[in-house]
């Protein structure tokens, strides 16, 4: 089923715009005068927010879990609506977007490598083939294989256990010893389909070497196989078995030489998984005293966690604008226009349950947003799905931006019963 009309301006089809990055694409399309279309399931489209529905020039309703049907439906829709670019928000749908762009003859990523940006086993193989520094790993199907792999490969403890296909830290555990392995494997293999689209998941699991040190992310715009690394962002997480993101800061506050190292490594990782016309979100760790950045993973998508807002607040660079420019075959705007600092801190519960009340103090230089309200169910704090909201701070220095965001987060009162 096809919905919508065709106003003027170039058209971009977004393979599922629902989610954190979707609203940034909507804003970017408005700035560029671009028509934004969506490809999604009918029931998912029916659940879109009024603001997202009103921002779309049209909708291609199809079954994104059925690749042949989805490609046929989307190709027909794009040709009839003169679509000039294809984008994706969901990591698991980026291979489908690459296939569609190739069929339409539009700028896109390499379909032959696109699954390496979705499947962490293929990603590890791609990194090895390209010489990208990454933790040692092995793929396992059960706890017995995992125990054998730890001994045979010398992966040691702590050990990272993560699903081959998932995002948002879902099913990821950091283990201190083998007694935690059975529970970690069960968590990593809990989901066999990704909702709400019903995409079948690879249920294999990565047993991965733990890399100590600070964690960072760096997004890379790639246009016509030329990489444009964006600023490095510092990532903060909880400790323990579940490393939940607590916030991000841009810029990262690194020495210029270290920032260049991270940006160069992130660009290499993006190219290794077939990013040719698009964007990559790459996460790295730098061990204490080391001069190497180890790539934990990369995805062929805009970042989640409101990182688009954080980066633009600090630098003036809109990742979503640059992404749309790239898929339309234009030169992306990636040059910073300001030198401020921004920090985000997520509002997290101490336990799951029913949300009773949230109180966020108002502080100059900050603003907050809540995702949940009184009466809503709060998931257990095991992954990013437990976020109640966030606070973003802007300041002239990294230290001040972090202080402001941390102060508001610390004084926020969250009551869960």
When pLDDT is averaged across residues 246-270 and rounded to a whole number, the result is 98
Contacts of 126 (CB under 8 A, 6+ apart): 113, 116, 132, 272, 273, 274
When pLDDT is averaged across residues 129-144 and rounded to a whole number, the result is 96
pLDDT interval class at 246 (50, 70, 90): very high
The three-class DSSP label of residue 211 is coil
**pLDDT at 58 > cutoff 90:** yes
When pLDDT is averaged across residues 82-91 and rounded to a whole number, the result is 96
Q: Which of 40, 319, 335 is nearest to 198 (CA)?
A: 40
**pLDDT at 396 > cutoff 80:** yes
**pLDDT at 241 > cutoff 90:** no
pLDDT at position 20 is 86
Complete DSSP assignment for 242-257: S--EEEEEES----HH
The span from the CA of 385 to the CA of 59, in Å, is 27
Residue 275: which region, alpha, beta or left (left: phi > 0; alpha: psi -120 to 50)? beta
Find out whether the peptide bond into 251 is cis, omega within 30 degrees of 0.
Answer: yes
The span from the CA of 201 to the CA of 254, in Å, is 37
**pLDDT at 258 > cutoff 80:** yes
pLDDT at position 382 is 87
Query: Looking up tokens 């909507």, which residue turns up?
Result: 26
95-115 pLDDT tens trace? 999 999 999 999 999 999 999
Which pTM value belongs to this model? Answer: 0.95
pLDDT interval class at 2 (50, 70, 90): very low
pLDDT at position 398 is 97
**pLDDT at 182 > cutoff 60:** yes
When pLDDT is averaged across residues 116-131 and rounded to a whole number, the result is 97
Q: Please, what is the Cα angle at 229 between 17 and 39, to 5 degrees? A: 15
pLDDT at position 221 is 98
pLDDT at position 309 is 98
Complete DSSP assignment for 111-131: TTTGGGGT-HHHHHHHHHHHT
When pLDDT is averaged across residues 276-300 and rounded to a whole number, the result is 97
Contacts of 226 (CB under 8 A, 6+ apart): none
The span from the CA of 291 to the CA of 40, in Å, is 44
**pLDDT at 167 > cutoff 80:** no
Cα Rg of the chain (Å, integer): 21
Q: Which of 400, 398, 409, 394 is nearest to 346 (CA)?
A: 409
pLDDT at position 3 is 42
**307 within 8 A of 282, measured Cβ to Cβ:** no
pLDDT at position 8 is 55
The span from the CA of 348 to the CA of 387, in Å, is 5
Percent of the chain with pLDDT over 70: 98
The span from the CA of 189 to the CA of 40, in Å, is 26
| Maximum Cα interatomic distance, the chain, rounded to a whole number of Å | 61
The three-class DSSP label of residue 39 is strand
pLDDT interval class at 153 (50, 70, 90): confident
Q: How many CB atoms lie within 10 A of CB 318?
A: 23
When pLDDT is averaged across residues 295-308 and rounded to a whole number, the result is 96
Contacts of 37 (CB under 8 A, 6+ apart): 4, 11, 12, 13, 14, 56, 57, 58, 59, 60, 77, 81, 83
Residue 16: which region, alpha, beta or left (left: phi > 0; alpha: psi -120 to 50)? left
pLDDT at position 149 is 84
**pLDDT at 243 > cutoff 90:** no
* Higher-scoring residue by pLDDT: 3, 330: 330
pLDDT at position 7 is 46
When pLDDT is averaged across residues 214-221 and rounded to a whole number, the result is 98
* Higher-scoring residue by pLDDT: 384, 355: 355
């Amino acid at each position: 089923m096809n919905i919508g009309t065709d106003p003027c301006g170039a058209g971009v089809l977004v393979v599922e715009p629902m989610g954190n990055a979707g609203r940034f694409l909507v804003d970017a399309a408005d700035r560029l005068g671009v028509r934004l279309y969506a490809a999604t399931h009918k029931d998912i489209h029916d659940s879109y927010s009024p603001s997202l529905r009103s921002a779309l020039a049209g909708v291609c309703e199809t079954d994104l879990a059925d690749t042949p049907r989805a490609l046929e439906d989307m190709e027909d829709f794009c040709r009839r609506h003169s679509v000039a670019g294809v984008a994706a928000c969901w990591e698991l749908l980026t291979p489908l977007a690459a296939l569609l762009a190739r069929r339409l003859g539009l700028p896109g990523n390499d379909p032959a490598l696109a699954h390496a940006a979705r499947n962490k086993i293929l990603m590890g193989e791609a990194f090895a083939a390209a010489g990208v520094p990454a933790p040692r790993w092995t793929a396992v199907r059960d706890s017995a294989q995992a125990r054998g792999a730890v001994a045979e490969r010398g992966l040691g403890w702590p050990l990272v256990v993560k699903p081959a296909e998932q995002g948002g830290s879902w099913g990821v555990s950091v283990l201190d010893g083998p007694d935690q392995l059975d529970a970690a494997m069960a968590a990593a293999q809990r989901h066999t389909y990704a909702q709400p689209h019903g995409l079948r998941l690879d249920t294999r699991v990565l047993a991965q070497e733990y890399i100590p040190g600070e964690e960072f992310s760096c997004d890379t715009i790639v246009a016509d196989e030329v990489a444009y690394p964006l600023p490095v962002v510092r990532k903060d997480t909880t400790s323990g078995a579940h490393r939940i993101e607590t916030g991000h800061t841009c810029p990262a506050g690194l020495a210029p030489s270290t920032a260049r190292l991270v940006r160069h490594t992130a660009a290499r990782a993006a190219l290794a998984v077939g990013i040719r016309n698009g964007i990559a979100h790459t996460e790295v760790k730098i061990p204490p005293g080391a001069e190497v950045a180890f790539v934990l993973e990369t995805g062929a998508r805009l970042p989640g966690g409101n990182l688009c807002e954080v980066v633009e607040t600090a630098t003036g660079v809109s990742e979503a604008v640059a992404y749309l420019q790239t898929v339309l075959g234009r030169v992306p705007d990636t040059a910073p226009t300001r030198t401020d600092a921004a920090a985000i801190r997520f509002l997290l519960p101490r336990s799951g349950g029913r949300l009773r009340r949230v109180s966020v103090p108002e502080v100059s230089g900050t603003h907050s947003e809540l995702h949940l309200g009184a009466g809503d169910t709060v998931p257990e704090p095991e992954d990013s799905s437990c976020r109640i909201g966030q606070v973003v701070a802007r300041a002239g220095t990294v230290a001040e931006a972090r202080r402001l965001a941390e102060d508001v987060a610390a004084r926020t009162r969250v009551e869960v019963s």
